[in-house]
Amino acid sequence: MLEHLPRWLGAMLRNVRAGHSKLVIAQPELEIGDTVIDLSSPAFASGARLPVRFTADGEGVSPPLLWGEVPPGTASLALIVEDPDAPALQPLVHALVWNIPPDERHLPEGAIVADGEGASTGPDVGRNSLFEGWLPPDPPTGHGSHDYVFQLFALSETIEIGTNPGRSGLVRGLQGRVLGAGMLVGTYSRGEEAPLGGQGVAGVSPA
């Protein structure tokens, strides 16, 4: 999508960004509190560049995710991945998953895919900004580095938000149910030299 913007236009829009304050995890009505879930990936360090295989320039699969213990009373988990640096009014949604079982501690590589009406048990996948499943990062060339913010929420109950909800449906489902949250940031850019150092974890190349 955004990869087709010419470099000159990406450069002109460099300061046009949705803003990190619009991320779901930053919304005060969710009353997240101080309980933090340790969220990480074996494929990239927090704050480091995403390997190409997880983007529109590579295979475009979703990255593996790991997380630690969740708060007592957690009945389900929900994940949303957003790009607050997109040249838009709202962050671009790259993935939405909900009703992840409370004893689950990971999502494997490539797990975020369209599931239609969803499964009778286990996590359901909703709509990103274009379709259902994982929307691979594809920032405009020349627009600078984009943050891709993985946000995990521990919830006091499973939520009923339809078979294929979007961002607004998830936010409604989160309200009054958040027991704790975790956040992981990966970065990606086009048309700029990739930063050196801190790029990979566990032998995974930053590509």
- 68-95, pLDDT tens digit by residue? 999 999 999 999 999 999 988 999 999 9
- Has domain 2-188 been given CATH number 3.90.280.10? yes
Query: How far separated are the first and last CA of the chain, in Å rounded?
Result: 21
Instruction: Please choose, from the candidates 152, 174, 168, the residue with its C-alpha nearest in 3D space to the C-alpha of residue 79.
Output: 152
Instruction: Give me the residue label for tokens 């590509």.
Output: 207
| Percent of the chain's residues with pLDDT above 70 | 82
SS3 of 28, please?
A: helix
Q: Which residue has the higher pLDDT, 50 or 164?
A: 50
The pLDDT value given to residue 161: 86
CA–CA dist 55, 26 (Å, integer) = 25
pLDDT band at 56 (very low <50, low <70, confident <90, very high): very high
List phi, psi (to 5°) of 170: -65, -45
Distances (CA, A) of 194 to 31, 141, 144, 205: 37, 13, 11, 13
For residue 46, give both structure tokens: 């927090």
Sheet holding 65-67, edge to edge: 39-40, 65-67, 106-107
CA angle 151, 172, 186 (to 5 degrees): 15
- 102-140, pLDDT tens digit by residue? 999 999 999 999 887 765 556 889 999 999 999 999 998
Q: What is the pTM of this model?
A: 0.86
CB 10 within 8 A of CB 141: yes
Contacts of 70 (CB under 8 A, 6+ apart): 37, 77, 102, 154, 179, 180
The pLDDT value given to residue 189: 94
- 149-165, pLDDT tens digit by residue? 999 999 999 998 887 88
pLDDT at 168 > cutoff 80: yes
Sign, Cα dihedral of 43, 106, 132, 175: negative
CA–CA dist 101, 122 (Å, integer) = 6
**Radius of gyration for the alpha carbons in the chain, expressed in angstroms and rounded:** 16
